[in-house]
Structures are given as C-alpha cells and as structure tokens.
Amino acid sequence: MVMGPTCGLVLADLGAEVIKVEPIEGDRTRHLLGAGAGFFPMFNRNKKSIALDLRSPDGAEIARRLCGSADVVAENFKPGTMAKYGLDYASLAQANPRLIYISLKGFLPGPYEQRTALDEVVQMMGGLAYMTGRPGDPLRAGTSVNDIMGGMFGAIGALGALVQRGITGRGQEVQSALFENNVFLVGQHMLQYAITGQPAAPMPDRISAWAVYDVFTVKDGEQIFLAAVSDAQWKVFCDALGFADLLADPAYATNNDRVRQRPRLLPVLRERLKAWSANELAAIFERHGLPFAPIRKPEELLDDPHLLATGGLADVRLTDGPRAGETAKATLLPFTMDGQRPGVRLHPPAMGEHTAGLLHELGYGDNDIDALRARRVVA
C-alpha cells in the first residue's frame, strides 16, 4: 500500500516511465478511510495505470510481456506470490538477463520471512515504538516511516544496480525490507548500548546529549521547541534572554555540565520562559541564529510560507472519493536536481487509465483488447 508505491514514486519523479499494475477492481488504497485516505494521491503521481487480473492466464501473460519490456520490475507481495504467475526474478531473468528486480518485503530472507509485516509490526518488534513512546507505553511513529524508507532503499538499490548493469551488462535482484529498515533506524541506539553499556531510554525519558533541547510551555499555554546545543549557543541563549546569572554559574560551564544539571536547570528555564509568547521567542531565536521550532500540525504545512515560496508543494488531481476531479497539494521529493525539485508530470492515474495504450504498445489490437475486457482480464 505504501512501500512498493513509494519505490515507484521515487523512480517516477526522477523521470522513469513507471507502469502501475492494479487489480481489475483497482488498488484498494484508492478507497481507504482515515489515516489511509492520502495514500493513493501521495504515492502514485507520475505513473501510468494498467488494470489486470493476474490470476487469469491471459492477465499473467500480459504482465510477463510488460516485464519483458522493462528495465526494472518492482513487487511488494508476500514471498512466493510472484512465482505462482511466472513473475518472480528467476523466471523473468531467463528471458531478460538485464532485468533489475526489486523485491520489497516485510523481512529479508531468514527465520521471519514468512511473517506478515506491517509498519506498526516492525516498529514494535524493531525497537522504534519502544524508543518513541514513554516508558511502558510503546508508540508507533506518526507516519509510515518504514514503508516510505523501505521503498526509498529499494529505489536506491535499483539505481545502484543500473550503474552496475552499465558495467557488467547483467541485471540483478534487489531486496529491501521493513524490519531491516527499522533496525537501521534504531542502529544508533544499539551502538549507544554497545559503547556505554547502558540501554537507550525511550526518547521522552532519554538522557539528552544537550541540556537545552526540549518543548517548553510558554505564555498563554503555547508550546515551542527551543535548543542550545553547544557552549557558544548557550552563551548566545543566555545573552539574548537576559540570563546572565545562569551564564556565570560554574555548574553550567560546559554542555556536559549542563546535561548533568538538567534536572535543576530545566525547571528554572521553564519558569522564566513563561514570560514570553511563542512568537516572541521565535523572533528572538531567529534573530540570534538559535534552533527553534513552532509545534505544527500536518494540515498547517499546506500554508507554510517556505514550502509555498520554494515550490515544495505541487497540485495533483484526485482520482477517487468525494473530491474526485479536484486538486490538492502534495509534497515533492525533498531534494533538488540542477536547482529544481522533481515535479509532477502525470497526475495520479485513474484506475486502468492507460490500459488500452499500453496493450497497444505490446502488440494487442482493438479486438483483442475488447475481448480481454469482456472476459474481465483487463479493465
């Protein structure tokens, strides 16, 4: 629902022709509610859609012919599923040894590989939920971090495989998995334990590396994140806010001293900072080059002046649901190439929007396509 589509999104935004193969009833993320409502329009721009019944011999044959014309094939099914249709890497590589094949899974091959994985599953078993929540209250991260990053790593692997193919002339299989992605994310905490001998505490209860690095409740109950992560920044912080007494206190002389004194220092800062509003503190911190952040909700980013000024949001056409045909703003890939953000060439496709055109490219005639549609092989 997210991992495979993200992989295709990255390649599509970079300029590849990406063909999304949907079941004839359509990708189910087109109609999800709640937290899933944004999946399809977010992860399926710049793609063409063909709708096939892979369970029918003719549908599987169309898919094999599509794969035979491709540089890269990406799949996001349970282990063994693609082999049932002759769409696994071993089968396709016999006919196309230059093929690069991306397998996007829950787990890399091993004892867990047959388990059903979800982002939340691997966050729980991979230490991320433990690190995110408060002690005794594991909490998943607030977005599909492993699905999205797992798809990104699949795309990165494909790009590396394309470079290697240019040297060797041969393709290869690339595998990316949710669990291993999650373990990569918590690897810094694993090494923290290896180095210190102390288990990493959940983030809300962690021993911070910096003394001033927290969310503060200020005037009128507003909240703002403020930080001073070096001795130089601590001096600027104290000077800007008029805290000369704290700057002169030898107990707070170095960052590590302040970390050790955090239980004593933070209550003092929390009480003093209540004199300012969040906007006043933001202005002070911006003026002095100190790190700060307003506490924002996702919907507020649609009007973010920086994103609007830099082209970080682009209009996409909605294809399904009550707002079908309207446009909404979607986030673009977070980098520039030659000074430009990779943009939207194709809106998220309607289900089967490109079926006829792609079948024509594969050599099917109009009568063939009509017959396939009549038998519900394609839509």
Mean pLDDT, the chain, rounded, equals 97
| Total-model pTM | 0.93
Return all residues near 24 (Cβ < 8 A) that are at least 6 apart.
51, 52, 53, 352, 376, 377, 378, 379
Domain boundary pick from 268, 298, 328: 298
Residues 82-88: what's their mean pLDDT? Answer: 97
Q: What is the pLDDT of residue 212?
A: 96
The pLDDT of residue 205: 86
356, two tokens: 């006829």
Asked if 77 and 179 sit in the same domain, the reply is yes
Tens digit of pLDDT for each residue in 254-290? 999 999 999 999 999 999 999 999 999 999 999 999 9
Task: State the average pLDDT over residues 293-311.
Answer: 96
Angle formed by the axes of helices 278-287 and 231-241, to 10°?
130
d(CA 92, CA 126): 33
Last residue of a domain, which of 242, 271, 298? 298
Tell me: pLDDT of 44 over 90: yes
**Residue with the two structure tokens 């990255």:** 10
What average pLDDT score do residues 355-363 get?
Answer: 98
Residue keyed to tokens 């202005």: 283
Residue 354 CA to residue 272 CA, distance in Å, equals 62
Q: Determine contact, residues 5/150, Cβ cutoff 8 Å.
A: no
Specify burial of residue 3 (Cβ count, 10 A radius: 0-12, 13-18, 19+): buried
Average pLDDT of 26-30?
Answer: 95
Helix (H, G, I), strand (E, B) or coil at 301: helix
Is 137 inside a domain boundary?
A: yes
Q: What percent of the chain has pLDDT over 90?
A: 98
Same domain flag for 65 and 117: yes
Regarding whether 175 and 313 lie in a shared domain, the answer is: yes
Tokens standing for residue 91? 């089968």
What's residue 57's pLDDT? 97
| Helix axes of 187-196 and 178-185: crossing angle, nearest 10 degrees | 50
Report DSSP state, residue 208. -
Residue 14 included in any domain? yes
Number of independent structural domains in the chain: 2
Tell me the torsion sign for CA atoms 232, 237, 238, 239: positive
3-class DSSP assignment, residue 210: coil
Residue 375 DSSP one-character state? T
Q: Are 294 and 333 members of one domain?
A: no
Q: Are residues 30 and 41 in the same domain?
A: yes
Query: Are residues 44 and 172 both part of a single domain?
Result: yes
DSSP string, 81-107: TGGGGT-SHHHHHHH-TT-EEEEEESS
Task: Indicate which CATH number applies to the domain containing 291.
Answer: 3.30.1540.10
Residue 88, pLDDT score: 98
Q: Is the pLDDT of residue 68 over 90?
A: yes
pLDDT digits (tens, 9 = 90+) for 89-136: 999 999 999 999 999 999 999 999 999 999 999 999 999 999 999 999
User: For residue 201, is it within any domain?
Assistant: no
Least confidently predicted of 3-17, 55-69, 198-212, 258-272: 198-212
Would 199 be classed as within a structural domain? no
Contacts of residue 175, defined as CB under 8 A and 6 or more positions apart, other chains included, come to 102, 103, 104, 105, 108, 109, 157
Q: Structural domain of residue 258, as residue ranges?
A: 208-298
Residues 46 and 154 in one domain: yes
Q: Is residue 281 located within the same domain as residue 356? A: no
Same-domain status, 117 and 265 = no
Are 8 and 121 members of one domain? Answer: yes
- The pLDDT score that the predictor gives to residue 207 is 79
Q: Is the pLDDT of residue 214 over 90?
A: yes
* Rounded Cα–Cα distance for residues 219 and 210 (Å): 24
Does residue 204 surpass a pLDDT of 90?
A: no
50 lies in a domain? yes
Interval 212-236 mean pLDDT: 97
One domain, residues 46 and 85: yes
Q: Could you say which of 274, 298, 322 is where a domain stops?
A: 298
Q: What pLDDT was estimated at residue 150?
A: 98
pLDDT for the residue numbered 206 = 82
355 shares its domain with 342: yes
Check residue 282 and give its pLDDT.
98
Quick one: DSSP state of residue 221?
G
Give the 3-state secondary structure of residue 212. strand
Rounded (10°) angle between helices 3-13 and 145-168: 50
Report the chain's terminal Cα–Cα distance, integer Å: 20
pLDDT band at 248 (very low <50, low <70, confident <90, very high): very high
* Helices and strands counted in the chain (H then E): 17, 10
The answer to whether 347 touches 317, Cβ cutoff 8 Å, is: yes
Query: Domain for residue 213, yes or no?
Result: yes
In a domain, 202, yes or no: no
Q: Is 200 among the domain residues?
A: no
The C-alpha angle with vertex 108 and arms to 103 and 112, in degrees rounded to 5, equals 130
Q: How confident is the model at residue 299 (pLDDT cuts 50, 70, 90)?
A: very high
Give me the CATH number covering residue 61.
Answer: 3.40.50.10540
